[in-house]
Structure 1
Amino acid sequence: MRRILALLLLAALGALAVWLYPLARPLARYGALPKGLDRPLNLLVLGVSPEYSGYHKRAPERFRGLTDTLLLVRLDPGANRVVVVSIPRDVWVNLPGHGWHKINAANPLGGPELSVRAVEALTGVRVDGYVMVSLEALRRAVDALGGVRLCVERPMHYTDRAAGLRIDLEPGCQRLDGAQAEAYLRFRKDALGDIGRIQRQQAFFQALKEQILSPWGLLRLPQAVAQAEPYVRTDLDRETIGRVLGFALKRPALVSLLLPGRFGNGWAVDQALWEEARRVYFEGQEVAPASSLGRVVAVVYGPGEEERAQEAARRLRAMGFRVLFRPVDQTPGRTEVLENGPGLLARDLAEALGVPYRVSGEAVLGADLTLRLGGDGRGL
């Protein structure tokens, strides 16, 4: 019996070693034992666009391209929560020594340090460190995870011959490989432009989280980390990385926001709405519950769901809401309430309707709340 137990233990250790082996290089470079995160940590994540050395030929990665993805991320151990604020690339900022530019130009002009200064001045939030990620990291990590399942809401077709980029996605819930995920995240040839792209990024974050936390995703996670690591740069030290890893093991909740604003000369930030969100998510303050009277709810529904949308609208109007209808080509994957803000209104409406809610920048622009009528069997 002891011999059998010893063999089983050796087999388990061998399996663990095989599972962890892909992490050898990342651990050698950044390795630190997971520790507890003892205070909130604010990070700036920069998605660096590729540079080209010729006709649709990507140059070697220098991490000096435009940062068309800018994410202000707060790791909050007290709330066991990750807050991700997407900053549109078309926000105009005054870059010290360079004058007025769109914020995505800060990296080519002054590296990640200038990007950090620009984001701090824009948001009023101190940044503790940065992480730079190239598109190649995305491709390789998604492929290593076995793809990511997403519901593509509309046809996405676009070809950039100079960059060698071809986007060809049809509506429907499907599993995207690395190249398709890159296409989904880069597409912005629709009415919302870069804002629509940001909303798709936030949908991708949610899907990626679910994929990673699935049994299959956890099994493949070391390989995904190993594949992405050569295409990541950061100024975090080993101890801080260890604390980030320890925090991640607690499976924190995810809140994703779009920096509130409106279309104008680029993206004009709504400072009042941002200050409210900053107080809640970055300063730990509470805000007073808001009345639903006169608030606008956008009802998102797919083909053949018109009657269901009308019934939802009837219930919403009875609660004092105004209603906008937003038909889409693909029925959403789940029924849920979305809010790009403190989340109190979304929570109250979700409880009244008996559906889940999320704080997310995927919410429809111009509405206070978004009600998605999904194909998950939840009735309204």
Structure 2
Amino acid sequence: MRRLLLLLFAVLLLALGIWAYPLLGPAVRHGALPAPEGLKNPLTLLVYGSSPEYSGYHRRAPERFRGLADTILLVRLDPGAGRVVVLSIPRDVWVNLPGYGWHKVNAASPLGGPDLMKEAVAQITGVQADRYVVVSTEALRRGVDALGGVRVCVEKPMRYRDTAAGLDIDLKPGCQVLNGEQAEGYLRFRKDALGDIGRVQRQQAFFHALKEQLLSPSGLLRLPRAVAAVEPYVQTDLTRQETGAILGFAMKRPALVSLLLPGRFGGGGWRVDEGALRELVGLYFNGEGTAEEAVLSGKRVALVFGPGQEGQVEGVREKLQALGLRVVLHPVELSPTRTEVLENGPGVLARTLGERLGVPYRISGEAVLGADLTLRLGEDFPL
């Protein structure tokens, strides 16, 4: 019996060693192992993607992490609230860059690198990032492939080809597992009516799908391989201690709140709604409470539904109108996979409507633009 236990223990150690082996290189270079206590204080990160640079037609230059900023995220890691807040900043926001004048925010990366990016985002949001993380597009491809792909619901046909950049997007609608190249196309596609804002909303949907994949049994099994695949394509000023604390915090499975910088189209870009932004920053980044009352009457709700759901819509609309809501029908090409209430804001209204209807709610920038609330109508809507 004792020999059997020793044999099982040895096999367990061997399996653990094989699982953790891909982390050896990153651990040696960065010395980052998860700290059991996690983060002790909130930490704000500027995370952005660096577009490829080219030395000639269709020839990528060596990675300098100085391409145009693609995805721009202000991330608040809050151990006290047990959550991660991700504020997506559209690249078409105009900002006055010190020493360079007015540019769209994505130009700060090639002009001045991470320091100028931090300054630009601080001007827009009023929040100064503590640290930065720059990720190349190659990291996305390799990380997704190492995870075995990420399951995403593609809401409509996406077709676009940029021969100079070597980007060929051809995605069919439907729920499917995307490999690294397909995921890059899904996240970079913006040839539709919403342009960069639609792309930002797809990125937020991808964040939630990626989180589910990472926390799945297969995702945890592949996690060391994914970390090793991504690590050479990431640049950061995080210290080893901070990296370990972040990993420890992540292992506690914090809640995810994803927000779109509030605003509207205008002035050749995205015009920020300063009042709504101050409210979100105060609540999610400064720890202030919200004075908003949960009054649904008079609020505008977008009712999202797909083909074949027309029979459900009238009954749901009557329920919403009975709560005093103004309903705007929002048909889409792909039916929602589940019922949920979305709000790009404090979340008080979404929680109230979710409780009234008996459905889950989520704070997300995926909400329909111009509406106070969004109700996605899935087949699981309670009758």
TM range (shorter): over 0.9
In the alignment, which residue of structure 2 is the partner of 1:347? 351
Which of residues 165, 168, 171 is equivalent to 1:166? 168
One-letter code of the match for 2:231?
E
Summarize deviations over 1:136-186 as a string: whole Å, max 9, x none: 000001011110001111111111121111111111011111110000000
Extract unaligned runs of 5+ from structure 2.
none
2:164 counterpart SS class: coil
SS in 2 for 1:371: strand
Is 1:20 the counterpart of 2:24? The answer is no
The equivalent of 2:33 in structure 1 is 33
Matched with 1:369 is 373
1:379 maps to: 382
SS of corresponding position for 1:146? coil
Q: 1:267 aligns with which of 252, 256, 270?
A: 270
**Residue 120 of structure 1, CA deviation:** 1.2
Q: Name the CA distance, whole Å, in 2 between partners of 1:285 and 1:317.
A: 32
Shift of 1:284: 1.6
How far residue 204 of structure 1 moved from its aligned partner, in angstroms, is: 0.1
Structure 1 residue 283 displacement after superposition: 1.5
Tell whether the 8 Å contact from 2:19 to 2:224 is kept in structure 1 after alignment. Answer: yes
User: Any residues of structure 2 matched to 1:273-284 within 5 Å, and which?
Assistant: 273-284=276-287
Structure 1: distance between partners of 2:372 and 2:358: 19
Say whether residues 1:313 and 2:317 are aligned partners.
yes
* CA deviation map 1:276-306 (0-9, x unaligned): 1111111222213231111000011110111
TM-score by length of 1: 0.98
Once structures 1 and 2 are overlaid, which stretch shifts more, 30-39 or 217-226?
30-39
Code of the aligned partner of 2:106: N
Aligned 1:98-109 pairs, distance under 5 A: 98-109=100-111
How many Å separate the matches in 1 of 2:318 and 2:301? Answer: 12
Counterparts of residues 190-209 of structure 1 (less than 5 Å): 190-209=192-211
Match of 1:231 among 230, 233, 239: 233
How far is 1:33 from its partner?
Answer: 3.2
Equivalence for 2:121? 119
What one-letter code is carried by the residue in structure 1 that aligns with 2:18? V
Superposed displacement of residue 365, structure 1: 0.1
Q: What letter matches 2:113 in structure 1?
A: G
**Structure-2 residue corresponding to 1:324:** 328
Report SS of the residue matched to 1:10: helix
Q: CA deviation at 1:60?
A: 1.6
Retained in 1: the 8 A contact 2:338–2:377?
Answer: yes
Aligned length: 379
Tell me how far 1:315 sits from its aligned partner: 0.5
Partner of 1:130: 132
In 2, Cα distance between equivalents of 1:137 and 1:168: 21
Is the CA contact (8 Å cut-off) linking 2:90 and 2:197 kept in structure 1?
yes
In the other structure, the counterpart of 1:210 is 212
What's the secondary structure of 2:252's corresponding residue? coil
Q: Distance in 2 between matches of 1:263 and 1:299?
A: 22
Query: C-alpha deviations, 1:7-60, integer Å up to 9, x for none?
Result: 111111110000000011111111233222110000000111111122222222
1:76 aligns with: 78
**SS of aligned partner of 2:341:** strand
TM-score by length of 2: 0.97
Letter in 1 for 2:287: G
CA distance in 1, matches of 2:252, 2:300: 36
Identity rate of aligned residues, in percent?
Answer: 68
In the other structure, the counterpart of 2:363 is: 359
Match of 1:110 in 2: 112
Aligned to 2:69: 67
CA–CA separation in structure 2 for the residues paired with 1:183 and 1:121:
30
TM-fit CA distance, 1:125: 1.1
Greater shift after overlay, 311-320 or 203-212? 311-320
